[in-house]
Structure 1
């Protein structure tokens, strides 16, 4: 008996935080015996063609009225609200962060997505978010009913640590080559600490080819290519090796609805340098140094502080370990999904 449908656009096994979250929850729900079907929607979202929209709405309308649909946020934020209103099955929106808050959007596009997502929220039975911060944004800026929102923090598998930090110290950053991830700020910051001994790796696929090209040009113009490596997208084993080799995790992000990679870094006891934006403060807690966004000078100072002071690095490493030990498991996260599905079921 199918208990729910998880509707995800394109390849659900893409190695980015939101897709890893959803694919893992889908797998664990089924492992728990809570049968949840995968419904693959067109991969054009959040910028669907007319045909993408037509196909997605048709697929959602085909779901039986007694089977709740967990609808991925890339689709939910861009879906036609009037079309969504015609879907008979209860809708559970899975919103990592509202699409209109994405960095780099034109004012008109951001305004459209904000209005569209607010309208779509009127047609949901329940909403799941990965952080208290996203819940607050939805209630305060989008008019969502707080009684319908449930926070399901990402789960994490506990790695068997065999860390072997390399020399010189490796500064590791993991995130799509997209404007929101702030890799341009990181590069600028690294240019300000070239007097110190370090190497850096930026792991992530080119989400936006123009951004990726600009980052490589910037790296060359700053004369950092001998010390900074763009590693591309890595598989699980290779990414783990990078975490084990690193001494600092650095993400100069401009916004995160949760930021799973920050918690992954803490699972490897890494001091974190990131920015005081979105859900980052509640995710990192005291396990790192947070700077204002778009402030390469402050980011460089934070990196310098950890690189120059072993005692500070050890302090933040210990705080990372403590915080990581309190992270939920994927079974915890899937159990929350199960409860929300049951609540939404007719």
Structure 2
């Protein structure tokens, strides 16, 4: 068993986003298995650092000993200067949630730069961990990564601590950082088309982009929905658990997902899902548990929500399918065991190849 490892990522591992939660739980799971994991906080400006932060990140990684493997989160890994990454003696395992160039609303020149950099850096990794078959397939087809070099480490789930207790009117819950990629603007536009029905909605997620958050608040104010729609922002774990238990429908109008931990959370609570046909969503949401619509289509999203709100038998059938799928999901201990197997299988460093 690997006795020591490092896990490097930008900023604070306790940040409340799906990717950081995944990283945090993976570190905890590896430690539970007896591996001493050092968390290395790289500059939070990654993946778009200035020259000084890039140098600090690479110097920190280059200082790691050659016998301690380092897992580097993709938010940093794909943006690091390839020449500097050559200086790292530690065996590198890349943790790619989704390729950086797939982020929404990137300028074309930045997307091209990130694609080229991440592709070059992946050639230097001893192994690559991904959370979904979708990300694995993308790395193989677009980034020329050998299938033998990739392991899917599907996120784990926690089983609900209490039974569902749906509220009336039914609660539509959306969970995701307040970032353009999550499509909350599309969801708000869809909800505005459902004013004739009885429902309430909460959008919970860590503020990420201040300008986008301000635009969302303005859109909510203009929607005329009033107190029926709450843009809650960051909520405590206790309130989030309560919201999942109280909800009747989970909705996320995401523009792209490399995986999406929140879908598993919704399934584990037996919630029917309304989302978009993009990225890993298609593989993550069982066909009988959700309704998927095109990206950036508030009319189609509204129609799917209306269908569940007005057809109780269908809502109940999809909820039952979600509960069955949720009961079969892996635990975080399973994810950690898979990651540990990756570390244990890494070939020893070749002293002749070290700088």
Q: Shorter-chain TM-score category?
A: over 0.9
Q: Indicate conservation of the 8 Å contact 2:157/2:331, yes or no.
A: yes
Residue 2 of structure 1, CA deviation? 4.5
Q: Indicate conservation of the 8 Å contact 2:293/2:300, yes or no.
A: yes
- Distance in 2 (CA, whole Å) between partners of 1:56 and 1:121 is 17
- Distance in 2 (CA, whole Å) between partners of 1:333 and 1:119 is 27
Q: Indicate conservation of the 8 Å contact 1:92/1:344, yes or no.
A: no
Structure 1 residue 66 and structure 2 residue 62: aligned?
Answer: no
Question: Which position in structure 2 is the counterpart of 1:105?
Answer: 106
Question: Which position in structure 2 is the counterpart of 1:170?
Answer: 171
Residue 77 of structure 1, CA deviation? 1.1
Question: Which position in structure 1 is the counterpart of 2:293?
Answer: 291
1:253-304: CA deviation from partner (whole Å, max 9, x where unpaired): 0000000001101111111000010000111112110001111111001000
- Distance in 2 (CA, whole Å) between partners of 1:273 and 1:38 is 36
Q: Indicate conservation of the 8 Å contact 2:78/2:121, yes or no.
A: yes
Residue 226 of structure 1, CA deviation? 2.6
Secondary structure of 2:211's aligned partner = helix
- Distance in 1 (CA, whole Å) between partners of 2:162 and 2:308 is 21
Residue 7 of structure 1, CA deviation? 0.8
Question: Which position in structure 2 is the counterpart of 1:90?
Answer: 91
- Distance in 2 (CA, whole Å) between partners of 1:201 and 1:326 is 27
Question: Which position in structure 2 is the counterpart of 1:268?
Answer: 269
Unaligned runs of 5+ in 2: 349-355
> For this pair of structures, how many residues does the alignment match?
346
Q: Indicate conservation of the 8 Å contact 2:17/2:206, yes or no.
A: no
Structure 1 residue 323 and structure 2 residue 325: aligned?
Answer: yes
Question: Which position in structure 1 is the counterpart of 2:311?
Answer: 309
Q: Tell me the TM-score normalized by structure 2.
A: 0.95
Question: Which position in structure 2 is the counterpart of 1:218?
Answer: 219
Q: Indicate conservation of the 8 Å contact 2:3/2:34, yes or no.
A: no
Residue 3 of structure 1, CA deviation? 2.1
Q: Indicate conservation of the 8 Å contact 2:16/2:206, yes or no.
A: no
Question: Which position in structure 2 is the counterpart of 1:52?
Answer: 53
Moved over 3 A (4+): none
Residue 162 of structure 1, CA deviation? 2.3
Unaligned runs of 5+ in 1: none
- Distance in 2 (CA, whole Å) between partners of 1:188 and 1:113 is 32
**Relative to structure 2, which stretch is displaced further, 213-222 or 330-339?**
213-222
Question: Which position in structure 2 is the counterpart of 1:37?
Answer: 38
